[in-house]
Amino acid sequence: MFVALPVDAAGRSRLLPWTLPFRFFVSAALFHAAAWPLLFAAADDVPRFQGGLGPVLGALHALTLGTLMSTVMGASLQLLPVATVQAVASQRLAALLWWIFTPSAACLVAGMSQPHPALLAAGTTGTVAAVVLFAGLLGHNLAHAKRQQDSVLHGWVAWGAMLLAAASATLLVRWYGGAALPDPRAFARAHLVLGVFGFMTVLAAGFSYILVPMFAVTRQPAEGLRRGVLGAAVAGVALALAGAFLDASPWLPGAAAGVGSVAAAVHVGAMAREVRRRMRPEMGPWFVLVALGWAMLIACLPVGLAVAAGAWPDRGPALFGALAVGGWLLSFVLGILSRIAPFLASVHAMGSRRAPPLVATLTPMRPLRAHQALHALALAGVLAGIAADSGALVRAGAALGCAGGVAYLVFVAGVVRRLRKGRSHA
Amino acid sequence: MKFERQTSRTLHDEHDTTLALMGRFEQALLRAPRPPAPADAAWERLARDAAALLDTEVGRHFDFEEQSLFPRLDDAGESNISSILRYEHDLIREGADTLVRLLRESWMQPMVQDRWDDLRNLGLEIVERMVVHIQKEEMALLPAIEVLVSEADDDSLTNTYAAA
């Protein structure tokens, strides 16, 4: 009774070959596994980190570019076309994207960590080229989207912020190479705000409105609320950018953090309310890290507000960065990835003459559970280390993070192995 | 998610009904490693609801999608998506036939542990397959209906489904 499925789409289909999104997911897990050893090696520098080349900045970009961006690319290339009923512009360009982005991001991280200006410049050039290519693919999808207008709006905001973040990165790297740049600190702040909040946070919120209700089996928050949160997030980012460039007083960054805090609280409150109303009580392990990410999002912006007001001048920036990147974005994205990877595997594990495996059997539970515990402990160690100005605590946290990175890599590799096994029975 | 077409809204509402029942059914199975006591009224009510859904409503829903909607996906060059959904229909139908027989047995006579284990394992598998299948339809099929089905077509499809 089992039909043989077409492995690849005839013509342009919304469903990509499985190897396309999964190559990005494997890269994300590899960069994640590489980031923690870098942080371990530079643990003493973490609590008072305020920017500058070195392994701390390298570790940060291994996470933001390597893990978060790779996941965003893989997930959006597959899920956005399905949700918006608009096929990806070109599967070949999507494949080319991985080939440009992954080695370039690795080069950039290595160039930052050593630091090695030529390597950094080469990596940045390739990474920015990949970001522009991704912007083209994403922009094509958003411009032709036939559905999900609200998420499309989030996509456009993130699209603009991503390109501005890439532009500011180019200027900063040129400055590291000796070129003139007026007020590099302002550009560095703008890069952080654009990358972490304007791009990743807005995109994460837009995807949340589709993915969390689908996986938790519940409804989306009201459209008015979603748009209101987006408006507040855009206002917060704009205020933060104005604060970075126009005003040395803490008012603008403080106002940005205040508006952002309200937007984050409303977003998380609405999502949590819908999750509580879910129709299927069983949530699965993916939600643990999503919930942790939401808690960290709520926590990070008031910390940003305090830092803007002058609190903890030595360690405040590192604390804010660790909460925003490690606590919020990394927890949330790894949680979502741990659900969409087996889900997409279940879509593709159908070349078999046997019944295809369940999502649950495509999910290697032991490494996933181990990663969740290690991730939470690693985060606690790093945050405590920054708060106590203790390199030893950061190092202990990073050591747990190294183990967690390996566990997550084993998890992703396990999903791929089970998917390939399912398909090999055709 | 907001749907303009009545066809999408009807299918979406049926998905919600199915998910709510599957959620209750899954919880009952997870809480019961042993067979229900004879004349357990709560179990009988739930088992009857689940059997009715799997026996008639799901079949009607699947038939409509296969006969009236998947050909539209095929024509739009989305045959890989319709093939996956058809394939899952076949799997769920096959498992549901056995599960419905076990459910009927569960309220008509006392069940031995082995039969209960069969019911529980199959029930949990069907819940998982049904939930993931609905997630795929909500993500890939219903948005496509919104784009591929015209207003006039929508009226005709709604009437066809109501008459089924």
For residue A1, being part of any structural domain is answered with: no
CATH number of the domain to which A376 belongs: 1.20.210.10
Q: What is the predicted pLDDT for the residue at A357?
A: 77
pLDDT tens track for B39-77? 889 999 999 999 999 998 888 999 999 999 999 989 888
For residue A201, being part of any structural domain is answered with: yes
Q: What is the predicted pLDDT for the residue at A353?
A: 55
- Phi and psi dihedrals of B98, rounded to 5? -65, -40
Determine which of A1, A282, A343, A354 to mutate to test the interface with B (most B C-beta atoms within 10 Å): A282
Which ranges of A14-116 does DSSP label H, i.e. alpha helix?
19-41, 55-61, 70-84, 91-113
Instruction: Please state, for a pLDDT cut of 90, what percent of chain B lies above it.
Output: 68
For residue A9, being part of any structural domain is answered with: no
How far apart are the C-alpha atoms of B64 and A309, rounded to whole Å? 61
Contact of A189 with A244, CB cutoff 8 Å: yes
pTM: 0.90
Q: What is the predicted pLDDT for the residue at B57?
A: 86
Nearby residues of B117 by Cβ (< 8 Å), 6 or more positions away? none
For residue A14, being part of any structural domain is answered with: no
Chain B positions touching A148 (Cβ under 8 A) are 143
Is pLDDT of B164 > 80?
no
Tally C-beta pairs within 8 A across A and B: 99
Chain A positions touching B146 (Cβ under 8 A) are 85, 146-147
pLDDT tens track for B141-157? 998 898 889 988 999 99
Written as six digits, the tokens of B47 are 């088992």
Could you tell me if A1 lies within 8 Å of chain B, comparing CB atoms? yes
Domain of A67 in residue numbering reads as 19-349+357-424
State how far residue B163 is from chain A, nearest Cα, in angstroms. Answer: 28
Mean pLDDT value of segment B116-138: 93
pLDDT tens track for B5-46? 999 999 999 999 999 999 999 999 999 999 998 888 999 999
How far apart are the C-alpha atoms of B107 and B95, rounded to whole Å? 19
DSSP, residue by residue, A306-332: HHHTTSSTTTHHHHHHIIIIIIIIIHH
How far apart are the C-alpha atoms of A363 and B5, rounded to whole Å? 36
Tell me the three state secondary structure of residue B54. Answer: helix
Q: What is the predicted pLDDT for the residue at A9?
A: 40
For residue A7, being part of any structural domain is answered with: no
Sign of CA dihedral A369, A375, A377, A378: positive
pLDDT tens track for A302-337? 999 899 888 898 999 999 999 999 999 999 999 999
- How many distinct structural domains can be found in chain A? 1
Q: What is the predicted pLDDT for the residue at A8?
A: 36
Contact of A303 with A316, CB cutoff 8 Å: yes
For residue A13, being part of any structural domain is answered with: no
Contact of A182 with A129, CB cutoff 8 Å: no
Sign of CA dihedral A362, A363, A365, A371: positive
Q: What is the predicted pLDDT for the residue at A7?
A: 36
Written as six digits, the tokens of B7 are 């066809």
Contact A280 B83 (CB under 8 A): no
Q: What is the predicted pLDDT for the residue at A424?
A: 74
**For residue A356, is the peptide bond before it cis, meaning its omega torsion is within 30 degrees of 0?**
no
End-to-end CA gap in chain A? 13
How far apart are the C-alpha atoms of A299 and A206, rounded to whole Å? 20
Could you tell me if A354 lies within 8 Å of chain B, comparing CB atoms? no
Using CB atoms, pick whichever of B78, B138, B146 lies closest to residue A13: B78
For residue A395, being part of any structural domain is answered with: yes
Q: What is the predicted pLDDT for the residue at A6?
A: 37
Chain B positions touching A79 (Cβ under 8 A) are 139
State how far residue B4 is from chain A, nearest Cα, in angstroms. Answer: 11
Below-70 pLDDT ranges, chain A: 1-13, 351-354, 425-426
pLDDT tens track for B65-116? 999 999 998 988 888 888 889 988 998 998 999 999 999 999 998 899 999 9
For residue A299, being part of any structural domain is answered with: yes
Could you tell me if A388 lies within 8 Å of chain B, comparing CB atoms? no
